[in-house]
Structure 1
Amino acid sequence: MVYVLGKDGQPLMPTDRHGKIRRLLKSNKAKVVRKCPFTIQLLYESTTHTQEITLGVDSGSKHIGISATTKDKVLFEADVELRNDIVDNISTRRQFRRTRRNKKTRYRKARFDNRRRKDGWLAPSVQQKVDCHLTMIDKVNKILPITKIIVEVASFDIQKIKNPKISGTDYQQGEQLDFWNVREYVLFRDNHICQCCKGKSKDKVLNIHHIESRKTGGNAPNNLITL
């Protein structure tokens, strides 16, 4: 499939007549503007008749499925793999920054209000995925005269996956209800007993530790343990 742009740069219907494409290129009536996907631009005035093309987007957190079709033909399809290393990269950057600040400005007072989030702020990992969806849709619009876009989305109830019987106010009254913070909840959950020696050391000092590193597992209760 060869994608075609008009003289003004607007997308036209693609073609699979490769012989005609070669003749246009040899006679300098067209030029190559992109090799992947192979796209040419006409250098003469032509008709702008197009068909209805529907762009379907199957959104996801790891992959995006894209397909542009007419009533009886597939004109473009792609599977895009999204980046999933944004959180790790930001955690690594935070680690280096803290190390550098502790070396050079260890006596500087902590500042907490010097970075205010703007309205509509999204986490960098989520923002990157949103931007990637929009970028792919824009790229397809540049090579095909899309008339309609259909985005397939799905929502998941994470709390209902954990507890199928949850309903009503149970959504607001979770397992950490009435606890001062996560630490107090983890201590109560573990009965204030070291989960390694089961209290045999008789050490009264208890600490909350991460099972996996905070960078990998986060601060959720299922990644915390009493030791």
Structure 2
Amino acid sequence: MSNVFVIDSNYKPLHPVHPARARLLLTQGKAAVFRRYPFTLVLKRVVEQPEVQPLRLKLDPGSKTTGIALVNDANGKVVFAAELHHRGHAIKDSLESRRTVRRGRRNRKTRYRKPRFQNRKRKKGWLPPSLESRLANILTCVARLCRYAPIEAMSQELVKFDLQLMENPDIAGVQYQQGTLQGYEVREYLLEKWERTCAYCGKQNIPLQIEHIHPRANGGTHRISNLTLACEPCNLAKGTQEIEIFLKKKPDVLKRILAQVKRPLKDAAAVNSTRFALLERLKTFGLPVECGSGGLTKYNRTTRGLPKTHWLDAACVGKSTPDVLVHKGNIPLLITATGHGRRQMCIPDKYGFPAKHKQRKKTFLGYRTGDMVKVITPKGTFEGKIAIRHRPSFRLGKVDIHPKYMRRVHQADGYEYRSKGVRNVPPHV
């Protein structure tokens, strides 16, 4: 698993330690648990001259998931790894639902305030709430890690795909695109656009080749809009035929491919829209920030023989990536943004009329919705998030638990934490 963060009694970050060392510190009474997620210990003394090895925080921002890794550049060890799952799509759906309800009320003339469209101003650098949420989630994790670990530099994957350079590889001043890295940029873009699937037969999890829709023998170009992915049998079968002739008996497949060629990458657009805003906000931490491209990340991961995961992608961001990454035994912490609940006091039904009202008090018996608790019952021991009720019967997963069996291990902070393969909630009984 990942190393354990350690701070002294003055809350100064020290070098993370192995979990076995952390257990020894707790057993000997030299430290106490300061925070559960990420697991952090606080020493009961002040360390005057700590021996600290500087760490680099690496980020691989994504539309749905962001990879996070703490790497020691000196020895290539991955000290900590995490995968942050965003809720941008949920925010967008909630805003659209609210907009639908409001417009429905206006159309029925049950609301007398006129719609406001022309009297709203947006400040410079404004981002939609779904994108702003992604930035806030990343910055929250970065700020926490900077408090618990001796971070002296950062690396961010800034450019996902450089479409202008891929469309025109001979453009002046881009010699770095003319080598091995050019192929990685193009292939990574096609894998994401065509969902790692053969465009002609739909097979997955097989070796795929870059294929020209309009054949090169007939005047086709290397432009990105003329490229797709195909397995070897389909690529050989198509040969130098035009796609209309090759798929003459499969009009549905032909229609899908021609539409897919023009389809934009929605998730890539979300990442590209926030990349520079994230970079500017990372600079406010006062640490040097290194930038890298998605093609360079894949090149680093491939040359080091690493599997594709979000946190390993983060560990491979930038030119500072060590030649050997020591990652064996690391279990990433899975962080899911859940939000802090809804602000609205009145919850409407599907027609826009009041259905129920929110409880005025957020806490009951010292607990609040979203707290991570440990439950010890005659049926077993479980951990998970609770939903409170204003009676001594809280919801954990699909079962009701009395508060007397509970012990809070982590206060609600708008995120859910778990490790891969760990079951946190009791089964339905």
Q: How high is the TM-score relative to the length of structure 1? A: 0.62
Kindly state the Cα deviation for residue 110 of structure 1 after the two structures are TM-superposed: 4.0
Is 1:64 aligned with 2:69? no
Kindly state the Cα deviation for residue 16 of structure 1 after the two structures are TM-superposed: 1.4
Which amino acid is 1:54 matched to? R
Is 1:138 aligned with 2:139? no
Instruction: Structure 1: state its 5+ residue gaps.
Output: 167-216, 218-227
State the partner residue of 1:112. 117
State the partner residue of 1:80. 84
Which amino acid is 1:32 matched to? V
Kindly state the Cα deviation for residue 86 of structure 1 after the two structures are TM-superposed: 2.1
Aligned length: 166
Which amino acid is 1:52 matched to? P
Which amino acid is 1:65 matched to? G
Relative to 1, partners in 2 of residues 1:110 and 1:56: Cα closer, same or farther, differing over 3 Å?
closer
- For residues 205-220 of structure 1, what are the structure 2 equivalents within 5 Å? none
Relative to 1, partners in 2 of residues 1:122 and 1:14: Cα closer, same or farther, differing over 3 Å?
same
Separation of aligned partners in 1, 2:37 and 2:115: 50
Which amino acid is 2:66 matched to? I
Is 1:148 aligned with 2:153? yes
Relative to 1, partners in 2 of residues 1:48 and 1:98: Cα closer, same or farther, differing over 3 Å?
same
Separation of aligned partners in 1, 2:117 and 2:17: 58
Q: 1:100-134 CA distances to partner (integer Å, 9 max, x unpaired)?
A: 34445456544323322122211111111111221
Q: 1:152-182 CA distances to partner (integer Å, 9 max, x unpaired)?
A: 1214449x69x9499xxxxxxxxxxxxxxxx
Kindly state the Cα deviation for residue 64 of structure 1 after the two structures are TM-superposed: 0.9
State the partner residue of 1:171. none
Is 1:125 aligned with 2:130? yes
Which amino acid is 2:79 matched to? L
Q: CA RMSD in A?
A: 3.1
Is 1:12 aligned with 2:17? no
Is 1:42 aligned with 2:43? yes
Instruction: Structure 2: state its 5+ residue gaps.
Output: 168-188, 190-220, 226-265, 267-429
Question: Relative to total residues, which structure has the larger strand share, 1 or 2?
Answer: 2
Instruction: Answer with 1 or 2: which has the greater Rg.
Output: 1
State the partner residue of 1:177. none
Kindly state the Cα deviation for residue 49 of structure 1 after the two structures are TM-superposed: 2.4
State the partner residue of 1:213. none
- For residues 94-109 of structure 1, what are the structure 2 equivalents within 5 Å? 94-103=99-108, 105=110, 108-109=113-114
- SS of the residue corresponding to residue 78 of structure 1 reads strand
Kindly state the Cα deviation for residue 93 of structure 1 after the two structures are TM-superposed: 0.9
The answer to whether the 8 A contact 2:92-2:130 is kept is: yes
Kindly state the Cα deviation for residue 24 of structure 1 after the two structures are TM-superposed: 3.6
Kindly state the Cα deviation for residue 59 of structure 1 after the two structures are TM-superposed: 1.4
The answer to whether the 8 A contact 2:105-2:111 is kept is: no
Relative to 1, partners in 2 of residues 1:49 and 1:85: Cα closer, same or farther, differing over 3 Å?
same
- SS of the residue corresponding to residue 51 of structure 1 reads coil
Relative to 1, partners in 2 of residues 1:67 and 1:23: Cα closer, same or farther, differing over 3 Å?
closer
Which amino acid is 1:11 matched to? P
- SS of the residue corresponding to residue 12 of structure 1 reads coil
Kindly state the Cα deviation for residue 68 of structure 1 after the two structures are TM-superposed: 0.7
Q: How high is the TM-score relative to the length of structure 2? A: 0.35
Separation of aligned partners in 2, 1:117 and 1:33: 41
- SS of the residue corresponding to residue 151 of structure 2 reads coil
Is 1:32 aligned with 2:37? no
Relative to 1, partners in 2 of residues 1:33 and 1:117: Cα closer, same or farther, differing over 3 Å?
same
Separation of aligned partners in 2, 1:82 and 1:130: 9
Separation of aligned partners in 1, 2:93 and 2:12: 40
The answer to whether the 8 A contact 2:56-2:153 is kept is: yes
**Percent of pairs identical after alignment?**
37
Kindly state the Cα deviation for residue 78 of structure 1 after the two structures are TM-superposed: 1.4
Relative to 1, partners in 2 of residues 1:24 and 1:79: Cα closer, same or farther, differing over 3 Å?
closer
